[in-house]
Amino acid sequence: MSKMNISNEVHDAFVKTHNNGDLLQLTDWAVSKQLTGWYSRRIAVGRDGEVVGVGQLLFKKIPKLPFTMCYISRGFVVDYEDTEAVEALVENAKAVAKQEKAYVIKIDPDVEVEHMGNMVEHLQQLGFKHRGFGEGLSPDYIQPRMTMITDISVDDDALLQSFERNNRSKVKRSLKMGTECFKGTREDLKTFAELMKITGERDGFLTRDVSYFENIYDALHPNGDAEVFLVKLVPGKVIDNLKQDIGSTEREKEKLLQKKDQKKAQNQINDLNVKMEKLHKQIAELEQLKTTHPEGKVLSGALLTFAGKKSYYLYGASSNEFRDYLPNHNMQFSMMQYARSVGATSYDFGGTNKEPDKDSHYFGLWQFKKVWGTHLSEKVGEFDYVLNQPVYQLIEVVKPKVTNLKKKIKIKKK
C-alpha cells in the first residue's frame, strides 16, 4: 500500500464512481467552502499503481486559538472491508492534520448501517471515538446521520407508482395545472435567494445571502454537478386550460338539468356550481397576474447537485402565493426526471429523523420526505480521532456546556 499524488480530476473520478463516494468529497465542493473559511488538503492511497482510497480533508481555524479542526466530510472514500487501505488513509490523514495543527480529525463516512460490517470496531481499534447511533438530525453531528433517498433508476410510471397515493395524485395534478419547471442560469439565483428569504420567514429559519448560492453554483456547475431549477406559473396558458374546464363543466351541468329526477341531480348541480365559481375566481386572479407577469411568475426553486450516480436536493424554496398550483410537486418530479437523464440513479432529499413524533419540530420535514418513495438511509455516524486531548476537551465538552448554561440563564431572565 503506497501513498499517491493524484490530480483533482483523478480524485473526483474515483469519488464519482465509488459506492461510498459523496458530493462533499468532490474537490469543487472544497472550493465552495472557501468563502466560509475552510481550506482543503487531499490524500490518496493505492495498490500496484491503482487508487483504492481517497480523502478530502477540510480545515478550519479555531477562533482565538492556534489550532484547526480537520473534517473529512462523508469520507474516507474507500472500501472499509479493505483494512489495509483504511489504515493507510488514517496514517496519511494524521500526518497532514498534525502539519495543520488540527486538534481532531472528524469523519462521517457515506456508509449505511446495514452495510457497515465491522468498520466501527476497526476504526475504534485504530483510535477513533464513535459518536454513537443518535438521531438523524442530532446536534452532535455535523452532517445528518439519516437521509431520505428515492430510487430514480426506474421509468416515469414506476417512479410515480413508488410515491404514496395522495402524493402521486398531487404530482399528476401539478403537471396539469399550468406550471412550468425549467433549468435556470446563474442570474436566476437572485430569484431563488429571494424565495429562500420568503421560505425562511414562513418556516422560521435563517437563510443565506445570494452570494452563498452563487459560490456553490460557480464551483460545481462548470462540471455539471450543480443546477438551479425554477417553477413558474404562466397565466395565459392556465387561463386557456381553465376556460376548457368551464366549458366541460357547463356541458356536464346541462346534461344534469335535462334529467327528469331533478331532486336527485340537484346535489351534483350544486357541486358543479361551486366548481364553476372557483374556476371563475381563478381566472380573475390569473388575468390580474397576466397584467404584471405576462411571461409567468416564479413560485418555487431548488439547487440540485450531483456526484456521479447520486443526486442531491440541496436547497429548496417557495413563494407564499398560488400554492394551490402545487409548484413544488412539479419541481420535485421534474428534477428527478432530469437527474435520471444525466445518469443519476438515486435522489437524496437530505436529513431527517426516523419517524419523529407528531409534536416533534422535525415531524413536518419527515412527513414531506417520506411520501416520495424514499427509503431511510441510516449512516454509520461520526467518528473523532483526537490529536490534542486538552483542546478537544475544551472545544467539544466544556464550551458546549458553557453555551447551554448561558442559554438557560437567558431564558430564565426572560
How confident is the model over 376-389, as a mean pLDDT?
Answer: 98
**Residue 182 three-state SS:** strand
How far is Cα 58 from Cα 26, in angstroms, rounded to an integer?
11
CATH 3.40.50.1000 describes domain 148-234+295-376: no
**Residue 206 three-state SS:** coil
Q: In this structure, are residues 289 and 297 in contact, taking their beta carbons and an 8 Å threshold?
A: yes
pLDDT value, residue 131: 96
Q: How many CA atoms lie within 13 A of 223 on its CB side?
A: 19
Strand 297-307, strand 226-233: pairing: antiparallel
Which parts of 197-285 are beta strand (E)? Answer: 226-233
Determine what percent of the chain is predicted with pLDDT higher than 70: 97
* Four-residue CA torsion sign, 39, 89, 103, 403: positive
pLDDT value, residue 407: 63
Q: How many CA atoms lie within 13 A of 306 on its CB side?
A: 22
pLDDT value, residue 409: 67
Residue labelled with grid coordinates 398531487: 170
Per-residue DSSP letter, 414: -
Q: Which of 172, 146, 150, 157 is nearest to 372 (CA)?
A: 150
User: Can you read off the three cell numbers belonging to residue 96?
Assistant: 497532514
pLDDT value, residue 17: 98
How far is Cα 28 from Cα 199, in angstroms, rounded to an integer?
27
Per-residue DSSP letter, 62: P
Strand-by-strand arrangement of the 297-307 sheet: 179-183, 226-233, 297-307, 310-318, 346-351, 146-151, 374-378
pLDDT value, residue 94: 98
**Residue 406 three-state SS:** helix
Tens of pLDDT, residues 183-201: 999 999 999 999 999 999 9
pLDDT band for 406, please (50, 70, 90 cuts): low
Q: Decide if pLDDT at 401 tops 80.
A: no
If one counts every other C-beta atom within 10 angstroms of the C-beta of residue 1, the result is: 16
Determine what percent of the chain is predicted with pLDDT higher than 90: 86
How far is Cα 98 from Cα 314, in angstroms, rounded to an integer?
32
pLDDT band for 233, please (50, 70, 90 cuts): very high
pLDDT band for 413, please (50, 70, 90 cuts): low
Highest mean pLDDT among 77-86, 171-180, 240-249, 352-361: 77-86
- The mean predicted confidence, pLDDT, of the chain is 94
Tens of pLDDT, residues 79-137: 999 999 999 999 999 999 999 999 999 999 999 999 999 999 999 999 999 999 999 99
- Whether the bond between 76 and the residue before it is cis, its omega within 30 degrees of 0, is yes
Q: Decide if pLDDT at 263 tops 80.
A: no
Q: In this structure, are residues 233 and 259 in contact, taking their beta carbons and an 8 Å threshold?
A: no
Q: In this structure, are residues 325 and 174 in contact, taking their beta carbons and an 8 Å threshold?
A: yes
User: Can you read off the three cell numbers belonging to residue 379?
Assistant: 449512516
Q: How far is CA 86 from CA 21, 55, 76, 80, in A?
A: 15, 10, 8, 6
Q: Which CATH superfamily is domain 2-145+379-413 in?
A: Gcn5-related N-acetyltransferase (GNAT) (3.40.630.30)
How far is Cα 183 from Cα 414, in angstroms, rounded to an integer?
47
Q: Decide if pLDDT at 412 tops 60.
A: no
Q: Which of 306, 348, 380 is nearest to 17 (CA)?
A: 306
CATH topology agreement for domains 2-145+379-413 and 148-234+295-376: yes
pLDDT value, residue 411: 55
How far is Cα 329 from Cα 155, in angstroms, rounded to an integer?
18
Tens of pLDDT, residues 329-363: 999 999 999 999 999 999 999 999 999 999 998 99
How confident is the model over 55-71, as a mean pLDDT?
Answer: 97
If one counts every other C-beta atom within 10 angstroms of the C-beta of residue 106, the result is: 22
How far is Cα 24 from Cα 26, in angstroms, rounded to an integer?
6
Q: Where are the domains of the chain?
A: 2-145+379-413, 148-234+295-376, 237-287
Q: How many CA atoms lie within 13 A of 342 on its CB side?
A: 18
Strand 310-318, strand 297-307: pairing: antiparallel
pLDDT value, residue 160: 98
pLDDT value, residue 264: 72
User: Can you read off the three cell numbers belonging to residue 270?
Assistant: 350544486
Which parts of 247-296 are beta strand (E)? Answer: none
0.85 cut: is pTM over it?
yes
How confident is the model over 378-384, as a mean pLDDT?
Answer: 98
Q: In this structure, are residues 373 and 151 in contact, taking their beta carbons and an 8 Å threshold?
A: yes
pLDDT value, residue 306: 98
Which parts of 249-362 are beta strand (E)? Answer: 297-307, 310-318, 346-351
Tens of pLDDT, residues 271-319: 999 999 999 999 999 999 999 999 999 999 999 999 999 999 999 999 9
Residues 6+ apart with CB under 8 A from 39: 30, 58, 59, 60
